Each structure stands twice: as C-alpha cells, then as structure tokens.
C-alpha cells in the first residue's frame, strides 16, 4: 500500500530551461565582479565565470565519489581560493558573506516555474492521506525554502530534506532512509519521483523504494541508465503510474 510519495526538486518540481540557466550564470558572475571590484579586486567577468565553473566541477567530482554535500559558503570559499583571494584579509569575512548572498540569490533571477499538474497531484495525494516528501540535492536550502513558499507548495510537505543541511546527497541511501524514518514509512510503502537516473532512480531503489523516472527537459549527457519502475513525461501521467505500481 502506498503511504509516501517523495519528489526531487530541480527539474522535477521546479523547472527551468537551459537559456534561463545560462542567463543566471552570467548574472552571478557579473554580480561577483561588481562586489569584488568594490573591494579592490579587478577581475574579468569571463575569468570569474570560469573559476565558478571549475569550482563547481571540483565539488561535483567529490559528490559523485562520496555523496558528500557542500553548502553555499563552502562553494564560495573554494571560488575565492581559486581567485587567489587571501582568507587572512581583514575584509574576507564580509566579502564572503556578500558573495554567498549573490551566489544563492542569483537563482531567483531565473525563469522558474512549478511543474504543471503539481497542485492537482498534491491535492489528490493529501485527499488519500498519502504523505509527501521532498529530497533535494542542493547547496541552496534557504533559497529553495523561499521558492517553495513563493509557489505555495511548502504547505504540502510532511518532510523536506535538503542535502546541504543533511551533509549527504542522493543517491546515498542514508538520505532516503532519513525521510522514511521521519515519516515512519517502510521502503515498500514509498515511491520517489525524479529526473536523474542515478541520484533519483538508483538511489531510491537502492533504499528499497520504488522509483519513477521523469524524463528531464535537459539532457544529462553520459548519465548511466538504470531501469526505473515506471517512466513518465509529465505529472499528468503520474496518477496512472502510481496506480499501476500500488493499486491505490
């Protein structure tokens, strides 16, 4: 019997297109440049954008090998290190704080939308007394909290777990087990929906849950294929997939 449906956040519940992502990265680098210039560090925007990209890749490599998650402060700290900005400078703490705010805040400049059908799905699950969870791999828990409130969907969740607060991200079984434990649900009574084969599908199945793969709008090149329990192209197909898997 189905008792819990958990969701990924980015590109599952909250959607964006590639153009919006590129625009956000440009805004982030430009705002970094302006703040750094105010502190006497004259750097080219393209150099800053390159360093941000390299820093994210370095942290992503660690994530893929260990499932360790990083928060925004740690990411910005690495960026500053790669920009050769000495953390012993008296202004370092103040500078870092401003950059952290820009790094997370720039996400809100994107053209973000809630997945069509989300409210209908959530209302239907609540009517059936089925619990709803969120498992998000993110550095930006505070920003995601604001977005969930902005889109008026925070109220639906019985539990929200952000990897940056938990310290580990999907596909680590610990993060799935944390959700199951909090909501007192066994793995066989739960299903997870997400757009990543390894993080969402493999991670959920490895924790004993069912996994529904939502085909993503962005092609994650080179991602290893695993067999989901069901595949959907949009949320309007989710009720049918749940019914086939659990019959309720």
pLDDT computed for residue 89 by the predictor: 65
Instruction: Kindly provide the residue ranges of all beta strands, DSSP E only, lying in 36-126, ordered along the sequence.
Output: 113-114
pLDDT computed for residue 86 by the predictor: 78
User: pTM of the full predicted structure?
Assistant: 0.93
Question: Which residues, at least 6 apart from 166, have a Cβ–Cβ distance to it below 8 Å?
Answer: 69, 174, 175, 178
Question: Which residues, at least 6 apart from 233, have a Cβ–Cβ distance to it below 8 Å?
Answer: 214, 215
* Category of 196 on φ-ψ map: left (φ > 0), alpha (ψ -120 to 50) or beta: beta
How would you write the pLDDT of the chain (248 residues) with one tens digit per residue?
A: 999 999 999 999 999 988 999 999 999 999 999 999 999 999 999 999 999 999 999 999 999 999 999 999 999 999 999 999 977 766 788 999 999 999 999 999 999 999 999 999 999 999 999 999 999 999 999 999 999 999 999 999 999 999 999 999 999 999 999 999 999 999 999 999 999 999 999 999 999 999 999 998 766 666 778 999 999 999 999 999 999 999 85
pLDDT computed for residue 176 by the predictor: 98
pLDDT computed for residue 218 by the predictor: 65
Residue 153 and residue 12 in contact, taking contact as beta carbons nearer than 8 Å: no
Residue 194 and residue 223 in contact, taking contact as beta carbons nearer than 8 Å: no
pLDDT computed for residue 91 by the predictor: 77
pLDDT computed for residue 142 by the predictor: 93
The size of the chain, in residues, is 248
């Amino acid at each position: 019997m189905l008792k819990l449906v958990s969701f990924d956040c980015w590109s599952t519940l909250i959607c964006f297109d590639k153009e919006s992502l590129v625009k956000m990265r440009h805004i982030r680098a430009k705002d970094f440049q302006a703040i750094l210039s105010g502190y006497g560090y004259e750097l080219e925007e393209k150099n800053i954008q390159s360093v941000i990209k390299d820093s994210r890749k370095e942290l992503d490599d660690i994530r893929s090998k260990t499932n360790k998650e990083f928060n925004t402060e740690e990411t910005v700290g690495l960026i500053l290190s790669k920009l050769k900005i000495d953390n012993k400078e008296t202004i370092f703490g103040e500078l870092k704080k401003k950059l952290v705010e820009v790094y997370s805040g720039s996400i809100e400049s994107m053209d973000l939308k809630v997945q069509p059908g989300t409210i209908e799905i959530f209302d239907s699950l609540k009517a059936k007394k089925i619990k709803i969870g969120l498992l998000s791999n993110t550095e930006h828990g505070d920003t995601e909290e604001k977005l969930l409130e902005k889109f008026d969907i925070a109220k639906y969740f019985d539990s929200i777990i952000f990897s940056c607060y938990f310290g580990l991200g999907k596909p680590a079984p610990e993060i799935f087990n944390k959700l199951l434990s909090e909501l007192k649900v066994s793995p066989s009574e739960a299903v997870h929906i997400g757009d990543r084969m390894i993080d969402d599908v493999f991670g959920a199945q490895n924790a004993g849950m069912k996994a529904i793969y939502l085909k993503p709008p962005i092609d994650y090149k080179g991602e290893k294929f695993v067999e989901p329990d069901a595949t959907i192209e949009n949320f309007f197909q989710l009720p049918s997939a749940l019914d086939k898997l659990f019959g309720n």
